[in-house]
Amino acid sequence: MLESLAFALVKTLIVFMFEQQLENAQSVRIQGAPGWYAQQTTNHICESGLAYGRIEAIDSAKANSRQAMVRRLEGAMDSVAYERFRHTTDPAERDLIRRFSRDEQLPAFIQSAVIFENIEYREKPAAAFVRACIPKARMVAYQEERVGKLVKAVTLHRRDRGFDEMETELGRPGN
């Protein structure tokens, strides 16, 4: 049961990300920004970052693009969990969905997976522009691995709870 829920979570997230990718692939032109700024690519999930200041602003723009990526992916996971699984009542399934939605490792994953495809500094208006991307295949592999770990953890928790209930029924309190 949990395996099918986990598969549905991953499949729904992937479909949502690709649909969102198509929506965001529309051309957005921001005056004063490079032509690639706020543009998507076919095989990546991308976010752009901007920071004002001297050349050191490039590091801030990179950080801004990574934070935007975290917010975008968290929003996608929240949307998937809400739209697809809001009527789930089984406590173990709800726990799996909640844990799926709140990925504590997402910022670390993004830090390690992001590729800065474009970096540009313009002296006028003293701004750094950055586009950070993650290959879709790497994102899919990460989500599949993550859900597999969650399913295992929830399954082990259910097993332990079942043993505790069995011991209680037999008159031997659990640890």
SS3 string, the chain, reads CHHHHHHHHHHHHHHHHHHHHHHHCCCCCCCCCCCCCCCCCCCEEEEEEEEECCCCHHHHHHHHHHHHHHHHHHHHHHHHHHHHHCCCCCHHHHHHHHHHHCCCCHHHHHHHHCEEEEEEEECCCCEEEEEEEEEHHHHHHHHHHHHHHHHHHHHHHHHHHHHHHHHHHCCCCCC
Q: In sequence order, which residues have a C-beta less than 8 Å from that of residue 63 and are 6 or more positions away?
A: 49
Would you state the pLDDT for residue 22?
A: 42
Would you state the pLDDT for residue 3?
A: 67
The whole-angstrom separation of Cα 67 and Cα 137 is: 20
The 3-state DSSP class for residue 88 equals coil
Q: In sequence order, which residues have a C-beta less than 8 Å from that of residue 110 and are 6 or more positions away?
A: 66, 69, 70, 73, 134
Lookup: tokens for 94: 């709800």
Lookup: tokens for 159: 């097993």
Task: Read off φ and ψ for residue 130, nearest 5 degrees.
Answer: -140, 145
Q: What is the mean pLDDT of the chain?
A: 80
Residue numbers of the chain with a pLDDT score lower than 50: 21-22
93-105 residue pLDDT tens: 787 777 777 888 9
30-63 residue pLDDT tens: 777 888 888 877 788 889 999 999 999 999 999 9
